[in-house]
A and B are shown apart, each in its own frame.
Chain A
Amino acid sequence: MGNGAKLPVPLTVLSSSEADAALHALQDASPGSLTVYVVPESSSLLPQGTNVYVGKHRSALVRAGQGLAALRARLQQLTRVMSFTASSIAAALADRVPDGQLGPDARRHLKSSLGYEITFSLLNPDPKSHDVDWDIEGAVNRYVQPVLDKLSVVANFSVDSQILYYAVLGVTPRFDKESSSFLLSAHSLPHVINPVEARLGSSAASLYPVLNFLLYVPERSHSPLYIQDKDGAPVPTNAFHSPRWGGIMVWGPGSASLPLHVDVDMVRVMEVFLAQLRLLFGISREELPPEFQVESPGNEGLADWELDRLLWAHTVENIATVATTLTSLAQLLDQISNIVIKDDVASEVYRAVASVQDAMAELAEGRLRSAFQASKEAVTSSERAFFDPSLLHLLYFPDDQKPLEIPLPGPCIFFIPACL
């Protein structure tokens, strides 16, 4: 720590999370950066058995280890966890790679977009027997809004909710005698979404992609209802999510039959939905060795370094999108000669190219925030140029306006030399 500031309390007295918080105050962590503090092997700052402590801001505490080689291994693993890797960048570019080269886990994360709309829906297929009530407004303000505020750097978010009555799942659950409950098997889950989606409605107000989070309260004749995973065991959270679409949770408090008036426990529901939101965005955590300890991000839902990872992936994806869009436009121009490029479209293209070059330069320097902003501007400009309606003004210029008389006397030309 070279800035000469002093800590209020000696470090050895604090626990690791307090130490992390205190150190965070001293450093200037710009987005994309990572600060690692190496502590002696015998230090009591880290609890016994923990060699690496990952904080919720952009710093980590690492034990020095037995030698430089061990320290190097730990640092490599740490950077793989906290920052981007080749595989995470490849996942971001997954849409542009042909199918055969990707693993089954590719194309799972949401595409980078300027905004997202989140809709919470409560499905009540049987309003006659159940009267379901949920305090969605309070839950959104308490649990969801802090997470979205943290993610507001990435995109604009808007939240909606609705209650749909007489909305049924498209699948009939199976009755299981041993547990005397109804079960939805894992292979029937993909068929659940389609009939419901017709009722959900598309957003009339904006063009951003929609993330749907559904809470299904099963009807009296089909309760309790559990979701089975591939091995046949009931899933503890009773929920599943579909990549790039959203998540569904089945409400089943476990009692034999639901009472007439159901008050939904929003804490349980929001835990599941927020976990699904993290999975949809790709902020999930892989398996870590036991010597790693990661601090929980608390109310905000995600740590600063997880946000940085998301920003790296989205920046790269944006740059790739711009490249693809502009290349397609150029190829179209070669193929179709009738496309009109007006001056403002041309200026948008120039602006997109300039922004992409800026973004690449900023990425090379490691300035993540400005690189992301530049890539967003580049995407906006390139989309505006590509989808401008004036491009197609002359596309269907009718050919019958061109004179017809030319081909007719053509054959005569052959005979004139024959006469001579």
Chain B
Amino acid sequence: MAAGPLLLLLLLLLGAAGPGAAAAAAAGPGPGLGPGAALREELLLRPLPAGDVAAAFQFRTRWDADLRRGAVSHYRLFPKALGQLVAAQGVRELHLALTQGFWRTRSWGQPPLGAPAGAELWVWFQDTVPDVDKAWKELSNILSGIFCASLNFIDSTNTVTPTASFKPLGLANGTDHRLLRYAVLPREVVCTENLTPWKKLLPCGSKAGLAVLLKAERLFHSSYHSQAVHIRPICRDASCLAVSWELRQTLTVVFDSFTSGQGKKDWSLFKMFSRTLTDACPLASESKVYVDISPKNEEKEFLEVTPTPTSVHEAVVQGDKRTYAVYDLLSPSLFNSSRSLNVQLKWKRPQDSQELSTPVLHAQRYVSGYGLQTGEISTLVHNTHPYRAFPVVLLETVPWYLRLYVHTLTVITKGKENKPSYIHYQPAQDRKRPHLLEMLIQLPANSVTKITIQFERALLKWTEYTPDPNHGFYVSPSVLSALVPSVVAMKDVDVEESPLFASLFPSSDGSSYFVRLYTEPLLVNLPTPDFSMPYNVICLTCTVVAVCYGSFYNLLTRTFHVEEPSRGGLAKRLANIIQNLERVCNLQSLPVMRRAGVKNEGH
């Protein structure tokens, strides 16, 4: 067992003590905020190949305080709801993401901050928490109330404790995995009622600064919408003697050129958000808009931005050298010429000549098989780096009603078997726990790795089916975490000086960067009973009983009477028929009366 690369990878994935390690003075707080709180906001606009544009907002509040239990807390910029939650439940780190849509890694590149479709919540608790499961349940219920999302459906059937994929992103004193909980609800839908409480947590609300652009009717008219909240402890300064709390609220949205842009590929803030920027949030110490104008294929410029940016910033982000045009909303010269800022992007060359640059790591997952008894889950992981191999940790969470057969697990690369160096498998318990499968796989350069595992579908109890069982059951997306080698060497970034989008994941080594990818969720049909059967049974039974009852009743109450053969013409026969009918009707309405004797009147 190759413990070497495993330990190296796990140590590098840890990377936790590093965020503030580079020496620099922290950015001073804004005026009048008092000591110990700072707000930074930024917007990153990134044109994607094929004419779409991705906009990523980040709002970061740093609070120099210690959220201990029982201490009286005085909140200024940090929202009181989240601060009380962290203090009361003993949370060390909290990450919640609500996403609608799927980030197409192959066509769009690596996401700035990945998130799986649906709702994802993972939390590291403090080691002083006595009962982690109870705290997890209370936490998910309280968050469900704060964000108006159905996070209260998180219970033991969809919660797992991963051992290698998730490491603390903030300060950590050792990592005991029993303090980590991870859950995904793939069926969760995100809409305006989730956006509104998210916006309420911002200090300026949606009244000033970059948040004025967040209008729901445009944000949800997009291919991909993801909003997230990340809370973690960080070093207060370079010496790391005291702890600050950082709250990052991020929102990523991808506008489709066909649905929003009416086919034209020129973008502007007004076209995307139907608003323009008028000022910065008065409480923010930094408020910037970054536009990605990196040239591709050695061209000088392929994108023109108006108005003229305040400055140009170059950085190495996710292994690529990129150039950004920066608009600083706090600089007085920006709003001199016009009261509002409407950043416009115009393409200089026609779009179709853009080549798609495939990202180094991307993956797909699908279900194959036939019938409703068995099936197979296959994951394809692509490593497109020409000469570097690197390991990747794959985490799969499969619900208990798809019974995995671990002996059928195969990992095949380039036709040969590729044995994972670390496998952690926790089998499911019916109605209690899902399957958890974590593997560390080495991906050779320029290869496709196929991981397959077979499963059998279980039959649920009739009360456990959802109201729409023929829609199918969701399997949560799998998580791939890797340290991807970068083509360009990266400098150590200082959190306070660099843009926010570059500093979420700490990187302790200049030659690789951390990537977390999510695959598609799967939709699997389970053998579904015919729910109309009880109705059918009742109908059939009632019919049979009615027929029996009818015969029995007839037998008990039928009376016989002699009838003279009818003599006479048609009129007489008609009169007979009518009299017979009358007799039958009378007989039915007075069942107990006997009619004896011979028929008579009129003949």
Partner of A409, one of B282, B541, B549, B556: B549
Chain A residues lying within 8 Å of B545, measured Cβ to Cβ, are 408-409
Chain A residues lying within 8 Å of B534, measured Cβ to Cβ, are 400
Instruction: Give bound CA distance, A203 to B76, whole Å.
Output: 16
Do the beta carbons of B72 and A127 come within 8 Å of each other? no
With contacts A127-B282, A204-B88 taken as known, whether A412 is within 8 angstroms of B75 at the C-beta atoms is no
Do the beta carbons of B556 and A419 come within 8 Å of each other? yes
Do the beta carbons of A163 and B553 come within 8 Å of each other? no
Chain B residues lying within 8 Å of A409, measured Cβ to Cβ, are 545, 549
B31 contacts the other chain (CB 8 A): yes
Chain B residues lying within 8 Å of A197, measured Cβ to Cβ, are none
Do the beta carbons of A201 and B80 come within 8 Å of each other? yes
Instruction: Give bound CA distance, A165 to B279, whole Å.
Output: 16
Partner of A205, one of B32, B84, B207, B279: B84
Instruction: Please choose the segment from B10-18, B148-156, B197-205, B374-382 that sits at the chain A interface, where 4 or more of its residues have CB less than 8 A away.
Output: B197-205
Partner of B34, one of A127, A133, A140, A162: A133
Do the beta carbons of B75 and A165 come within 8 Å of each other? no
Instruction: Give bound CA distance, A159 to B200, whole Å.
Output: 22
Do the beta carbons of A131 and B31 come within 8 Å of each other? yes
Do the beta carbons of A161 and B75 come within 8 Å of each other? yes
A1 contacts the other chain (CB 8 A): no
Do the beta carbons of A415 and B34 come within 8 Å of each other? no
Partner of B76, one of A162, A199, A416, A419: A162
Instruction: Give bound CA distance, A205 to B203, whole Å.
Output: 21
With contacts A128-B282, A133-B34, A411-B549 taken as known, whether A162 is within 8 angstroms of B75 at the C-beta atoms is yes
With contacts A161-B75, A412-B549 taken as known, whether A418 is within 8 angstroms of B557 at the C-beta atoms is yes
Question: How far apart are B129's CB and chain A's nearest CB, in angstroms?
Answer: 14
Partner of A204, one of B146, B279, B591, B592: B146
Chain B residues lying within 8 Å of A408, measured Cβ to Cβ, are 542, 545, 549
By beta carbon, the residue of chain B nearest A129 is B282
Do the beta carbons of B592 and A418 come within 8 Å of each other? yes
Question: How far apart are A248's CB and chain B's nearest CB, in angstroms?
Answer: 18
Do the beta carbons of B72 and A160 come within 8 Å of each other? yes
Chain A residues lying within 8 Å of B82, measured Cβ to Cβ, are 204
B81 contacts the other chain (CB 8 A): yes
Of listed A201, A202, A408, residue having the most chain B CB within 10 A: A201
Do the beta carbons of A204 and B205 come within 8 Å of each other? no
A166 contacts the other chain (CB 8 A): yes
Chain B residues lying within 8 Å of A329, measured Cβ to Cβ, are none
With contacts A261-B32, A408-B545 taken as known, whether A165 is within 8 angstroms of B557 at the C-beta atoms is no
Do the beta carbons of B538 and A404 come within 8 Å of each other? yes
B85 contacts the other chain (CB 8 A): yes
Instruction: Give bound CA distance, A205 to B84, whole Å.
Output: 6
Do the beta carbons of A162 and B80 come within 8 Å of each other? yes
Chain B residues lying within 8 Å of A23, measured Cβ to Cβ, are none
By beta carbon, the residue of chain B nearest A419 is B556
Do the beta carbons of B557 and A158 come within 8 Å of each other? no
Partner of A412, one of B81, B87, B204, B553: B553
Proximity string of chain A (108-136) to chain B, C-beta cutoff 8 Å, 1 when within and 0 when not: 00000000000100000001100111001
B552 contacts the other chain (CB 8 A): yes
Chain B residues lying within 8 Å of A203, measured Cβ to Cβ, are 84
Chain B residues lying within 8 Å of A261, measured Cβ to Cβ, are 32
Chain A residues lying within 8 Å of B549, measured Cβ to Cβ, are 408-409, 411-412
Instruction: Give bound CA distance, A165 to B208, whole Å.
Output: 10
Question: How far apart are A346's CB and chain B's nearest CB, in angstroms?
Answer: 25
B283 contacts the other chain (CB 8 A): yes
Do the beta carbons of A165 and B203 come within 8 Å of each other? yes
With contacts A412-B553, A415-B556 taken as known, whether A160 is within 8 angstroms of B85 at the C-beta atoms is no
With contacts A128-B282, A204-B85 taken as known, whether A415 is within 8 angstroms of B76 at the C-beta atoms is no
Partner of B88, one of A133, A201, A206: A206
A149 contacts the other chain (CB 8 A): no
Do the beta carbons of B75 and A132 come within 8 Å of each other? no
With contacts A165-B205, A412-B549, A412-B553 taken as known, whether A133 is within 8 angstroms of B542 at the C-beta atoms is no
Do the beta carbons of B74 and A137 come within 8 Å of each other? yes
Chain B residues lying within 8 Å of A204, measured Cβ to Cβ, are 81-82, 84-85, 88, 142, 145-146
* Size of B's binding interface in residues, CB under 8 A: 41
Do the beta carbons of A205 and B557 come within 8 Å of each other? no
Question: How far apart are A116's CB and chain B's nearest CB, in angstroms?
Answer: 14
Chain B residues lying within 8 Å of A159, measured Cβ to Cβ, are 72
Do the beta carbons of A166 and B85 come within 8 Å of each other? no
Question: How far apart are A166's CB and chain B's nearest CB, in angstroms?
Answer: 4
Of listed A166, A205, A411, residue having the most chain B CB within 10 A: A205
Do the beta carbons of B282 and A160 come within 8 Å of each other? no
Proximity string of chain B (73-99) to chain A, C-beta cutoff 8 Å, 1 when within and 0 when not: 111110111101101100000000000
Question: How far apart are A156's CB and chain B's nearest CB, in angstroms?
Answer: 11
Do the beta carbons of B88 and A205 come within 8 Å of each other? yes
Instruction: Give bound CA distance, A203 to B553, whole Å.
Output: 70
Instruction: Give bound CA distance, A409 to B548, whole Å.
Output: 10
Do the beta carbons of A163 and B75 come within 8 Å of each other? yes
Chain A residues lying within 8 Å of B538, measured Cβ to Cβ, are 404
By beta carbon, the residue of chain B nearest A166 is B207
Proximity string of chain A (367-380) to chain B, C-beta cutoff 8 Å, 1 when within and 0 when not: 00000000000000
Instruction: Give bound CA distance, A205 to B82, whole Å.
Output: 10
With contacts A127-B283, A408-B545, A412-B553 taken as known, whether A160 is within 8 angstroms of B75 at the C-beta atoms is yes
Question: How far apart are A339's CB and chain B's nearest CB, in angstroms?
Answer: 21
Question: How far apart are A221's CB and chain B's nearest CB, in angstroms?
Answer: 15
Question: How far apart are B108's CB and chain A's nearest CB, in angstroms?
Answer: 35
Do the beta carbons of A205 and B72 come within 8 Å of each other? no
By beta carbon, the residue of chain B nearest A415 is B556
Question: How far apart are B555's CB and chain A's nearest CB, in angstroms?
Answer: 9
Instruction: Give bound CA distance, A158 to B72, whole Å.
Output: 7
Question: How far apart are B227's CB and chain A's nearest CB, in angstroms?
Answer: 19
By beta carbon, the residue of chain B nearest A130 is B32
Partner of A161, one of B74, B142, B279, B541: B74
Instruction: Give bound CA distance, A31 to B324, whole Å.
Output: 72
Instruction: Give bound CA distance, A136 to B80, whole Å.
Output: 15
Proximity string of chain A (381-420) to chain B, C-beta cutoff 8 Å, 1 when within and 0 when not: 0000000000000000000100010001101100110110
Partner of A166, one of B75, B77, B208: B208
Instruction: Give bound CA distance, A35 to B63, whole Å.
Output: 53
Do the beta carbons of B32 and A201 come within 8 Å of each other? no
Within 8 A of A (CB), among B183-218: 200, 203-205, 207-208
Question: How far apart are A204's CB and chain B's nearest CB, in angstroms?
Answer: 5
Chain A residues lying within 8 Å of B72, measured Cβ to Cβ, are 137, 140, 158-160
Question: How far apart are A393's CB and chain B's nearest CB, in angstroms?
Answer: 14
Partner of B205, one of A158, A166, A404: A166
By beta carbon, the residue of chain B nearest A121 is B80
By beta carbon, the residue of chain B nearest A261 is B32
Instruction: Give bound CA distance, A389 to B183, whole Å.
Output: 25
Proximity string of chain A (143-165) to chain B, C-beta cutoff 8 Å, 1 when within and 0 when not: 00000000000000011111101
Instruction: Give bound CA distance, A109 to B85, whole Å.
Output: 29
Do the beta carbons of B81 and A201 come within 8 Å of each other? yes
Chain A residues lying within 8 Å of B87, measured Cβ to Cβ, are 205
Partner of A128, one of B34, B208, B541, B552: B208
Question: How far apart are A157's CB and chain B's nearest CB, in angstroms?
Answer: 10
Do the beta carbons of B200 and A199 come within 8 Å of each other? yes
Chain A residues lying within 8 Å of B553, measured Cβ to Cβ, are 412, 415
10 additional A-B residue pairs with CB within 8 Å, beyond A161-B74, A415-B553: A128-B208, A160-B72, A160-B74, A162-B75, A165-B204, A166-B207, A204-B81, A409-B549, A415-B591, A418-B591
Q: 9 closest A-B pairs (Cβ-Cβ)?
A: A131-B32, A205-B88, A162-B75, A205-B84, A166-B207, A127-B282, A161-B74, A162-B80, A204-B85
Chain A residues at the B interface, C-beta cutoff of 8 Å: 119, 127-128, 131-133, 136-137, 140, 158-163, 165-166, 199, 201-206, 261, 400, 404, 408-409, 411-412, 415-416, 418-419
In the assembled complex, 18 residue pairs joining A and B whose CB atoms fall closer than 8 Å, in A order, are A127-B283, A131-B31, A133-B34, A160-B74, A160-B80, A161-B73, A162-B80, A163-B75, A166-B208, A201-B80, A202-B81, A204-B81, A204-B88, A409-B545, A412-B553, A415-B553, A418-B591, A419-B557
